[in-house]
Structures are given as structure tokens and as C-alpha cells.
Amino acid sequence: MQLYRHKIWTSIFCLFLVSLSLFLFTACEKEIDLNIKSNPNEIIVEGHIENGLPPYVILTKSISLYDNININNLENYFVHGANIIVSNGIDSVQLVEYNSSILQTLPDSVVDAVAAQFGIVVDSSGDFPDVSIYTVPFTAPDFIGEIGKTYQLRIEANGQILTSSTTIPAPVFFDSLWILPHPNPAFADSFFQVYGWLQDPPQLGNYYRYFTKVDNGPLLVSTQTVFDDNFFNGKKFEIFIPKGKPFGTNSSDINFDTDGYWDIADSVCTIKLCQIDKAHYDFWRTLEANRANIGNPFGSFVLVKSNIIGGKGVWGGYGSITGSYVRVP
């Protein structure tokens, strides 16, 4: 969001000084062999519940830093056979593990939501990578997220017990959405910007996360996906909405001229704006800092703040509203 461009500027400043020093002093880089002990195989939880959608949980294991992992070798990465219970204080449901072959049998809305977790779109062929996901069984299709409720999570896996709790806050959406050309005339023919008017609720303590989607593509996130209202509590203001990047985009592949701008071919620009609770927000905020500090000599490491007791990762509720700007070519 535009407010957060100062961070980009700060990075420019740091980049400048770094490059200045590197230029002045012709820094030298070379590969080294770090002999570092690692303790992989910690359980990582990625679970969500959203208004109108059933809960789902992806359970994975951490791996050694220099091991290769990608969409083609996922089989040993997932944690199978976990016993997972989600409860809203009155009702509870035991989640069932689905692998890619039976995912296609689930309702479309669930498949889409699951696919979004992996940043992909399930087309008619229904090809899913070799993933595993836990969600509600067919017998309890009515267990869906409701605004204002708190959801408990309990996981038993590999002899460990992990617990957490999250809420679905009341959602807020933009009053209006509009577009502007790319500020640099050189790019104005191929890219545009999307803006929205946002009225922040009067009470301090609103935490936002947003996704974007082009036409029928997957819901994607940008580099910085969360913000809070500390700086603009209760205000109404215009906000730049950067387009999300495909999952797995390497930060070094980002083109600063076009990053966040929408392509001239994009017709339906969809934005999902979610309200999340503080612990959920802290997870994303620290995760984004954790990612940003990879390779940053001046930033120190940031440990991701998890809301999972007994493990790592997140159990996060989304109170969402989705809207679109339809561009007439």
C-alpha cells in the first residue's frame, strides 16, 4: 500500500549506501561453506478459517536450509495422519486429510480456497500438485467460519500436541475502487494502478490482510500483505493496491518499475480485504520481516511470531469481503 512505500524508500536508501560502499570499495562476494547444525522436522501449521468457508489446515515439516524443496518433490514434506479438531466453543469438527487425488471431489468453493493456499487455480482437468490438506469431512459441510466467533484448534501429530485459537473479526471493505495509469509515462501503455478509498473503523486495533486476483486467476498476495491502523486510525484515505505476485516468486526477480502495477490486459481486478486479529497479524508481519531480512546485511534476523502453542506457523481467522473493479478495455 502506498503508505508503506516509505519502506521501499528506506530500502532504496540502504541499497544506495550499500551499493555506494560496494562501488567505492569494490566488495567481493564468494561462496562459503557454512557448517551449521540444523534441527529440521519441526511441525509447521498453516491453517485458516474464513467467514463462509470451512476450516483447513496444511501441516508440513521444516527442512534443512540448504535442502532443495519445490512443487515437484513435496511428498515427504507434508505431515500425514494428524488428528485435528476445530471447535467454535459449541460445535466441533474433526478434520479429514485429503490428498490431491480426492481434492477434486470437494465442493468448488472449498477447492478454490484450498488452491489459493498453494497459489494455484484448479482448472477443469483438476490437476493438483502432490499436496495434502486437512479440512471438514463431507459429513459436516456446514461447519463454516462465522464473523465474530472464536475458533480453537487442536492438532495431534507425530506424538506432539499443538493448540491455538483465532477469531474472525468483522470485515471492512473499500468505499470505492478506481484506476490510474502507471506514473512513469514509459510504462503507462502497459501498466495501471488500482486505488481504493478506505474508511478505517473508529476503534484503534484494526489489522488488515489483502489478496488480489485477476479475472479467474488465483488469489495472490504481494510482498507486504498486512497493515494496521496505528498510523491512520479512524481516517478515510486513498490507498494504492498492489497486484499480488505468483506464489514462490523469488524476491530477487522483482522488477521495481512494474512490481505492484496491474497489467493492461487485466480485466476484472478482484480484491479480497480481510480483517484479522492481532496474533494473526503478528504472524504475517514478522514473517514478512523474516523474509525481507534474508540477505540484508543491516537488518538483523527476525524470528516469526507464531500463535501456535507447541509448534510453529499460524492458525488465522479471516473476516473477508471481496470486490472487483471491472475495467472496460
Partner 1 sequence: MKTAVYLVFLDTFTSFMSRRLLLLIACLCLFLPIHAQNETFTLSGFLKDAQNGEALIGANVYVQGNTALGATTNLYGFYSLSLPKGDYQIAFSYIGYATQVQTISLNKDIRQNIELSDNTKALDEVVITDERKDENVKSTTMGKEELSIDRIKSIPALMGEVDIIKALQLMPGVQAAGEGNSGIYVRGGGPDQNLVLLDDAIVYNTGHLFGFFSVFNADAVKNTTLYKGAMPANYGGRLSSVIDIQMKEGNNKRFEMEGGIGIISSRLTIMAPFKKSKSKKTAKGSFLFSGRRTYLFDIIQPLLKKTDFAGTNYFFYDINLKANYQFSDKDRLYVSGYFGRDVFVYNSTKNQTNVKIPWGNATATVRYNHLFNDKLFMNATFVFNDYNFSFSGKQLDFSFRAKSGVRDFNTKIDLDYYLNSKHNLKFGMVYTHHRMTPTQASATSGTTDFESNINRRYSHELAWYASDEFKVNEKLKLDFGFRLSMFQHIGPYGKISGDNIAGFDTVFYKRGKPIKTYFGPEPRFAMRYAFGKNNSIKAGIALNYQYIHLVSSSNSTLPTDVWVQSSAIVKPQMALQYSVGYFRNFKEDMFETSIEVYFKHLWNQIEYGESYVGELNIDPELGYVFGKGKAYGAEFFIKKRTGKLNGWIGYTISRSDRKFKDLNEGKVFVAKYDRTHDLSINIAYNINKEWSVGATFVYATGNAITPANTLSLIEFNPMIGYSERNSYRVPAYHRMDLSLTYTPIPKRRPNRRWHSSYNFSIYNVYNRKNTYFIYNKIEGSTLTGDLKQTPINVSLFPVIPSFTWNFKF
Q: Binding of partner 1 at residue 72 (CB under 8 A)?
A: yes
- Round to whole Å and give the CA distance between 66 and 60: 17
Pick the closer one to partner 1 by CB: 79 or 86: 79
Q: Binding of partner 1 at residue 232 (CB under 8 A)?
A: yes
The residues in 93-112 that bind partner 1, with binding defined as CB under 8 A, are: none
Q: How far is the CB of 101 from partner 1 (least distance, A)?
A: 20
Cell numbers placing 6: 516509505
DSSP output for 286-325: HHHHHHHTTT-SSSPP-------BTSEEEEEEEEEEEEEE
Q: Binding of partner 1 at residue 76 (CB under 8 A)?
A: no
Q: Binding of partner 1 at residue 166 (CB under 8 A)?
A: no
Number of residues counted as binding partner 1 (CB under 8 A): 98
Of 7-15, 82-90, 98-106, 142-150: span binding partner 1 (CB under 8 A): 7-15
- Residues 6+ away with beta carbon under 8 Å from 40: 61, 62, 63, 64, 67
DSSP 178: E
Q: Quick one: which of 174, 201, 169 has its CA closest to 270? A: 174
Q: Binding of partner 1 at residue 249 (CB under 8 A)?
A: yes
Pick the closer one to partner 1 by CB: 44 or 271: 44
Q: Binding of partner 1 at residue 325 (CB under 8 A)?
A: no
DSSP 243: P
Q: How far is the CB of 139 from partner 1 (least distance, A)?
A: 29
Q: How far apart are the first and last CA of the chain?
A: 25
Of 21-29, 92-100, 147-155, 268-276: span binding partner 1 (CB under 8 A): 21-29
